[in-house]
């Protein structure tokens, strides 16, 4: 039976990030299964308020772009009321709210509650939102607790994109119902790997026997960008056959560009196809983050057969349960990160074995086919009270 889903996500394409890709990939898989999906997001980029993208209906609400668009706040003006009226007229079967600490999220929870539509909230964090200012972080923490408490009035069923997110929800006295893992479209990545041409090493004149470390994602302080650059400065002096590609944009883009040299190569924001090509030519993927839910970038790197070095944040220990799968370090302190990358570069065949183990784990647990089936099962149970038959 066809179901109609409405996903509320404060940010969505063309804004690029983990939550945005989660929303898109889940929506795409639900549509492939024969369902209808509407995404309600914020108009951060001031573009069309309505669009049909790859079968996904997208409505963009007017908003104020706080923190350079990292925290959009709904504007309850005439344009908002028009979209709200359109949504009220639609007969949705199931509402999904991605993340819990935006005004947009609260609106989605209230919308479902007011129309008596089953709703779940999926959390993507494992720590408080940070702007790297102690005073504002403290104020933000109080605000996050307040808006989460209000959201619980309208939504009782919370999930995490990792077990770490589920544990973090306990911080707000929320007992999560389970995990709906962040995932990848493995078939699409395999198709791109087969069709793509290897161009990045030749473009930057990097020898085939050189070791390439890669970072992809938002260039934000909490991702550990400064520590990664400092570690690379040390390692490149020891090993002239070592390179770092940094792909992404964000607050620290100027810093990354200023640190460019023969061994540190900024690539800016890349489309998904180019990210896959770049990862396929990389040896080690490094995400030294101190704030993470469950990184899409790590999963993409595994799919492209990269060895991963990351910090003990988000779902890292779930993805790499032992050192046989990848390297999970306690934090991103520069000396610790440098030592970890040094060990990863020198691992040889053990690194290749870890790559294969993590790839097999990815196939077994972290694909959108698995997660979309779980969401459809939830929808079936919430709307009929009966489990969905396998199809």
Cis peptide upstream of residue 290 (ω within 30 degrees of 0): no
Joined together, the tokens standing for residue 256 give 């990354």
- Tens of pLDDT, residue by residue over 179-204, are 999 999 999 999 999 987 878 999 99
Angle in degrees, CA 175, 176, 182, rounded to 5: 155
CATH 3.30.1360.200 fits 4-183+367-384, yes or no: no
DSSP-assigned beta bridge partners for residue 36 = 4
* Residue 387: per-residue pLDDT: 59
Cα–chain-centroid distance for residue 69?
Answer: 17
In 3D space, the residue among 141, 135, 15 whose CA is nearest the CA of residue 72 turns out to be: 15
We find that the CATH architecture of domain 186-365 is 3-Layer(aba) Sandwich (3.40)
Taking the CA atoms of the chain, what radius of gyration do you get in angstroms?
A: 21
Helix extents (H) in the chain: 18-32, 78-89, 103-114, 134-151, 163-169, 186-195, 200-203, 225-238, 253-258, 272-280, 296-303, 316-319, 334-345, 349-365, 368-384
Angle in degrees, CA 365, 368, 371, rounded to 5: 70
Residue 253 and residue 217 in contact, taking contact as beta carbons nearer than 8 Å: no
* Residue 82: per-residue pLDDT: 98
By DSSP bridging, strand 71-74 and strand 63-66 are: antiparallel
DSSP-assigned beta bridge partners for residue 94 = 5
Low-confidence residues of the chain: pLDDT under 70? 292-293, 386-391
Give the residue carrying structure tokens 């040889």: 348
**For the chain, domain boundaries:** 4-183+367-384, 186-365
- Tens of pLDDT, residue by residue over 130-185, are 777 789 889 989 999 999 999 999 999 999 999 889 999 999 999 999 999 999 99
Query: In the Cβ-directed half-sphere of 168, how many Cα atoms lie within 13 Å?
Result: 28
Query: Is 4-183+367-384's fold the same as 186-365's?
Result: yes
Residue 162 and residue 181 in contact, taking contact as beta carbons nearer than 8 Å: yes
The strand order across the sheet containing 242-247 reads 264-268, 242-247, 211-216, 284-287, 307-311, 327-329
* Residue 390: per-residue pLDDT: 44
| Model pTM score | 0.85
* Residue 225: per-residue pLDDT: 96
């Amino acid at each position: 039976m066809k179901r109609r889903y409405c996903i509320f996500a404060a940010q969505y394409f063309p804004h690029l990030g983990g939550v945005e890709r989660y929303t898109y990939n889940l929506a795409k898989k639900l549509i492939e299964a024969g369902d209808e999906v509407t995404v309600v997001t914020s108009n951060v980029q001031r573009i069309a308020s309505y669009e049909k993208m790859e079968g996904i209906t997208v409505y963009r609400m007017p908003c104020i772009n706080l923190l350079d668009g990292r925290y959009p706040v709904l504007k309850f003006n005439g344009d908002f009321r028009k979209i709200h009226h359109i949504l009220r007229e639609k007969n949705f079967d199931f509402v999904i709210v991605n993340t819990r600490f935006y005004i947009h999220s609260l609106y989605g929870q209230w919308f479902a509650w007011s129309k008596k539509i089953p709703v779940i909230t999926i959390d993507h964090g494992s720590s408080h939102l940070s702007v790297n200012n102690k005073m504002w972080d403290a104020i933000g923490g109080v605000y996050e607790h307040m808006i989460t408490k209000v959201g619980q009035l309208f939504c009782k069923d919370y999930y995490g994109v990792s077990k770490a997110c589920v544990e973090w929800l306990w911080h707000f006295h929320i007992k999560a119902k389970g995990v709906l893992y962040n995932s990848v479209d493995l078939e699409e990545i395999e198709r791109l790997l087969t069709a793509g041409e290897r161009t990045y090493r030749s473009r930057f004149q990097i020898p085939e026997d050189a070791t390439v470390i890669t970072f992809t994602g938002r260039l934000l302080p909490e991702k550990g960008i400064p520590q990664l650059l400092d570690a690379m400065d040390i390692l490149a002096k020891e090993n002239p056959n070592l390179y770092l590609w940094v792909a992404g944009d964000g607050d620290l883009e100027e810093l990354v560009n200023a640190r460019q040299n023969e061994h540190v190569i900024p690539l800016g924001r890349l489309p998904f196809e180019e990210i896959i090509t770049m990862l396929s030519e990389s040896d080690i993927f490094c995400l030294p983050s101190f704030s993470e839910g469950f990184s899409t970038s790590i999963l993409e790197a595994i799919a492209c057969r990269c060895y991963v070095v990351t910090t003990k944040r988000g779902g890292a220990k779930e993805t790499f349960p032992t050192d046989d799968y990848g390297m999970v370090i306690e934090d991103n302190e520069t000396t610790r990160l440098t030592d970890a990358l040094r060990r990863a570069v020198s691992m040889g065949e053990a690194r290749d074995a870890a790559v294969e183990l993590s790839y097999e784990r990815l196939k077994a647990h972290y694909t959108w086919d698995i997660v979309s089936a779980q969401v459809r099962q939830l929808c079936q149970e919430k709307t009929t009270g009966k489990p969905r038959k396998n199809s």
